[in-house]
Amino acid sequence: MATGQLFSRTTQALFYNYKQLPIQRMLDFDFLCGRETPSVAGIINPGAEGFQKLFFGQEEIAIPVHSTIEAACAAHPTADIFINFASFRSAAASSMSALKQPTIRVVAIIAEGVPESDTKHLIAYARSNNKVVIGPATVGGIQAGAFKIGDTAGTIDNIVQCKLYRPGSVGFVSKSGGMSNEMYNTIARVTDGIYEGIAIGGDVFPGSTLSDHILRYNNIPQIKMMVVLGELGGRDEYSLVEALKQGKVNKPVVAWVSGTCARLFKSEVQFGHAGAKSGGEMESAQAKNQALKDAGAVVPTSYEAFEAAIKETFEKLAEEGKITPIKEVKPPQIPEDLSSAIKSGKVRAPTHIISTISDDRGEEPCYAGVPMSSIVEQGLGVGDVISLLWFKRSLPRYCTKFIEICIMLCADHGPCVSGAHNTIVTARAGKDLVSSLVSGLLTIGPRFGGAIDDAARYFKDAYDRGLTPYEFVESMKKKGIRVPGIGHRIKRGDNRDKRVELLQLFARTNFPSVKYMEYAVQVETYTLSKANNLVLNVDGAIGSLFLDLLAGSGMFTKQEIDEIVGIGYLNGLFVLARSIGLIGHTFDQKRLKQPLYRHPWEDVLYTK
């Protein structure tokens, strides 16, 4: 491995398996360091393509998303770092695929628990092809003021406190990502900060070793001293011991191997990492610390003395003139995300949508304050759900039953009415369900199924003003307006619409008052004296009876009733009901595999 620097201010990476927070932290670090280009060139999300929106300082940018590693490497040939956030199940395969790409130089594997046999194959391939693997089970690495991997060094506040926004003079390597964050703080307190830091990962077989990075740091002129934090278990530290003995390292090394407390336990103890398990005296922290000390490393007497040892070594180098004082710079302020600023009470922002009928913020959605589970547990029906979502209150059972009857009676009226006809023609043209449904719904209006609101509006106005049926009908006639809810193409005075009769029977049996319906019946009596087809139709029946429901229930003010009629609630009933039939016609035509419809020419009057 050896050679030198892994990262620079122009380094770019490919990020595998999209994770918003680690990527945003990388981009925030870029901005903090004054980079001109984002360090994440592309994202690889298997099976997905497009873009992901993220922030680069105050600017919102779109980072390309690729479905394969090969496609991403081809699209971003200068991106030579592969940051792998795949799970332990797929991390090895995706990492190997990345290593085989000629453009990829370094692979960082974040996942813990990657099978050891797979890791050994990755290590062998990387070494034979002069590539670097960091991890598995790593948080990654960082070059101060230049580039960082994923969540390395934690939050922006911690990065600023550790002075990682500009390079220092210390090279640091550890097995632990968590302890790396602690050591970045420690080093920043007593030195000019780190130049580069790597957490090799806590698994038994790391892709690169402590000595790999120390030897590499030795070749980087900007690094004047090295700090190593090892741990009990394994023999990785002994490769560093040999390098020191052989004179391959000519810069000061301050080292500590944690886990000295293991001797206090009577039996073998497994610490946090898979590799942190003493398998014998040589793998103990005490033996490793002694070996490092004997080889020439600066080894303190305890972890508590580690900071002082680092400080003393740094100050000695400074006195010798080997370290040039670094001019401190003030990093730019990272813009705070709106969501976190709102949460902390720093800003207030207007909402864009108001909703009063439902709420999905809790453990389960609520309809007008009623939990969905409660609706099911109480055995409520569709009418009750409509009463909650449309009227924002629980209506009496006779009201919700009436709503359900209206839906059942208006669900369909055969294939010949305009809505069903449009749906059938559209379905036979090979269109999808939604297109077929909408084509039928678009025919609903003043001439087809859309007269319920108008019927309610005119009947209410006439009754409330005390007009007789004669005065009402004749005034409408003078205005040139047909009475909504009156008239049918087929039904007659001696052949009433069964649906109207069923609605009237239910209302007379259950409603406290049916004054508007009775008024509509009186109007029908007068219109039948003029023509036998001027009967009260289903629109008129529903419109007048809904007025009785709203007025008779005692749950609505006059203003609320006027608003309900004005907004179009009652036509909503027809739209909801007829959607059932239109969907049925769509399925029927699909099931029958009916061909494209063409209207017969003999049914068309061709004229000049």
pLDDT tens, residue by residue, 278-307: 556 788 899 999 999 999 999 999 999 999
pLDDT tens for 78-116 read 999 999 999 999 999 999 999 999 999 999 999 999 999
* Angle, in degrees to the nearest 10, between helices 515-528 and 469-479: 70
pLDDT for position 351:
83
Tell me, what CATH number does 569's domain have? 1.10.230.10
265 Rama class: left (phi>0) / alpha (psi -120 to 50) / beta: beta
pLDDT digits (tens, 9 = 90+) for 177-208: 889 999 999 999 999 999 999 999 988 889 99
Secondary structure element (H or E) that encloses residue 254, with its range: strand 253-258
In a domain, 405, yes or no: no
User: Is 228 a residue whose pLDDT tops 90?
Assistant: yes
Name the band, by pLDDT with cuts 50, 70 and 90, for residue 271: low
pLDDT band at 236 (very low <50, low <70, confident <90, very high): confident
- Residue 448 has, within 13 A of its CA and on its CB side, a CA count of 16
Residue 467 lies in a domain: yes
User: In the Cβ-directed half-sphere of 240, how many Cα atoms lie within 13 Å?
Assistant: 38
Cα separation, 355 vs 361, whole angstroms: 12
Residues 261, 149 within the same domain: yes
Residue pLDDT, tens place only, 471-486: 999 999 999 999 999 9
For residues 257 and 285, the answer to whether their CB atoms sit within 8 Å is yes
Tell me which of 320, 354, 383 is where a domain ends. Answer: 320
pLDDT for the residue 1: 64
Residue 154 shares a structural domain with residue 299: yes
Answer whether residue 360 is part of any domain. Answer: no
Residues designated as active site: 273
Contacts for 436 with CB less than 8 Å, ≥ 6 apart: 423, 426, 427, 582, 585, 586
What is residue 276's predicted lDDT score, i.e. its pLDDT? 47
Residue 265 lies in a domain: yes
Torsions phi, psi of 203, nearest 5? -75, 165
Domain co-membership, 307 together with 430? no
Mean pLDDT of 459-464: 95
Q: Do residues 268 and 258 lie in contact, with contact meaning Cβ atoms separated by under 8 Å?
A: no
Beta partners for residue 449, in sequence order: 445
- Domain membership of residue 395 (yes or no) is no
Per this entry, what is the length of the chain? 608
Residues 303 and 433 in one domain: no
Domain count, the chain: 2
More confident residue, 282 or 53: 53
- At 264, the pLDDT band (50, 70, 90 cuts) reads low
Domain carrying residue 566? 411-592
CATH number at residue 259: 3.40.50.261
pLDDT of residue 268: 60
**Residue 348: inside a domain:** no
- Ranking 32-41, 261-270, 276-285, 412-421 by mean pLDDT, the lowest is 261-270
- pLDDT, residue 327, reads 84
Answer with the one of 320, 342, 367 that is the final residue of a domain: 320
Question: In this structure, what are the phi and psi dihedrals at residue 134, rounded to the nearest 5 degrees?
Answer: -110, 125
Lowest mean pLDDT among 187-191, 268-272, 539-543: 268-272
| Cβ-Cβ contacts under 8 Å for 383 (sequence gap 6 or more) | 395, 399, 400, 401, 402, 403, 404, 407
pLDDT of 508 reads 96
Q: Which two tokens stand for residue 449?
A: 């199924």
Q: Which residues contact 569 (CB under 8 A, 6 or more apart)?
A: 390, 391, 453
Residues 294 and 424 in one domain: no
Is 406 contained in some domain? no
pLDDT at position 233 is: 79
- What is the four-CA torsion angle of 335, 339, 345, 346, rounded to 10 degrees? 20
Neighbours of 491 (CB within 10 A): 19
The b-or-e profile of 239-253 (16+ CB within 10 A means b, else e) is: ebbebbeeeebebbb
> Do 287 and 419 belong to one domain?
no
Distance (Å, whole) CA 507 – CA 497: 16
Evaluate if residue 9 carries a pLDDT over 50.
yes
Indicate whether 466 and 586 sit together in one domain.
Answer: yes
The answer, yes or no, to whether residue 270 has pLDDT greater than 60, is no
Question: pLDDT confidence of 261, banded at 50, 70, 90?
Answer: low
Residue 262's pLDDT is 58
Tell me: do 423 and 292 sit in the same domain: no
Does a structural domain hold residue 365?
no
Average pLDDT of the chain is 93
Based on the fold, state whether residues 106 and 226 are members of the same structural domain: yes
Residues 93 and 211 in one domain: yes
Q: Which of 292, 320, 348 is the endpoint of a domain?
A: 320
* Residues 284, 424 within the same domain: no
Are 314 and 422 members of one domain? no
Kindly list the distances between the CA atom of residue 325 and the CA atoms of 85, 159, 169, 310, 495, in Å, as whole numbers in the listed order.
38, 20, 10, 17, 103
